[in-house]
Structure 1
Amino acid sequence: MSTHAWITALISLVISFVLFGIGAVTILTLPIASTEAQLVLPLIVLVGLLIAPFAAERLSPRFTPGERREEEDDVSSDRTYPRGG
């Protein structure tokens, strides 16, 4: 597996956990939805697992070493940094 694939997989897991946490807290705090939590929580897990790889694919280039977007190059070229000595 390439570095990009590993980073995408790790980011996908993190995004899935965050989506599950947001969904679980939302469902369990709403009195109407908490009665149906046995049905809704597995759906939240499924939706998180389905959405996470697509979101991770979009985020992974930011974490891949050696790859930079052109917008970042344009912004960083305007900056000057003093040299420490």
Structure 2
Amino acid sequence: MMETEKIPTDIWLKVMCALMINAVLFGAGVITVLSVPSFADQAKYLIPVVIVASFVITPFLCGFVARRMRIRNWKSGQWREGDLISG
């Protein structure tokens, strides 16, 4: 019987954050492109730019957000006060 390796919690958090952050960035970019009339005319060029930009920006943001999701990364008592991300 093969033993499977477990994926660390930090990796799971980063993957889950990346999926959500990528969706938000893509959605915000597409809404911006389609709602601004001068951008809507160039949508066939700008939507691929939005796709690439969302994939490029996502890893930087997910590392920042996923780190804050672990209680061990908060200073003593700081988790009660919150911060910019958690409110």
- TM bracket (short chain): 0.7 to 0.9
Mark the CA change 1:35 to 1:10 in structure 2 (over 3 Å): closer, same or farther. Answer: same
Q: Using CA pairs below 8 Å that are at least 6 residues apart, which structure has the higher relative contact order? A: 1
Q: Which has the higher helix share?
A: 1
Q: Which one-letter code corresponds to 2:23 in the other structure? A: F
- What is residue 45 of structure 1 aligned with on the other side? 51
Do structure 1's residue 68 and structure 2's residue 73 form an aligned pair? yes
Uncovered stretches (5+) of structure 2, i.e. residues with no partner = 1-6, 81-87
Cα offsets for 1:10-36 (capped at 9, x unmatched): 101111110111111111011111011
Paired residues, what number?
74
Distance 1:76 1:6 in 2: 21
Stretches of structure 1 that go unaligned for 5 or more consecutive residues are 78-85
Higher radius of gyration, 1 or 2:
1
Q: How does 1:1-85 map to 2 (within 5 A)?
A: 1-64=7-70, 66-70=71-75, 73-75=76-78
If the length of structure 2 is used for normalisation, what is the TM-score? 0.75
- Share of identical aligned residues, percent? 24
Compute the RMSD of aligned alpha carbons: 1.7
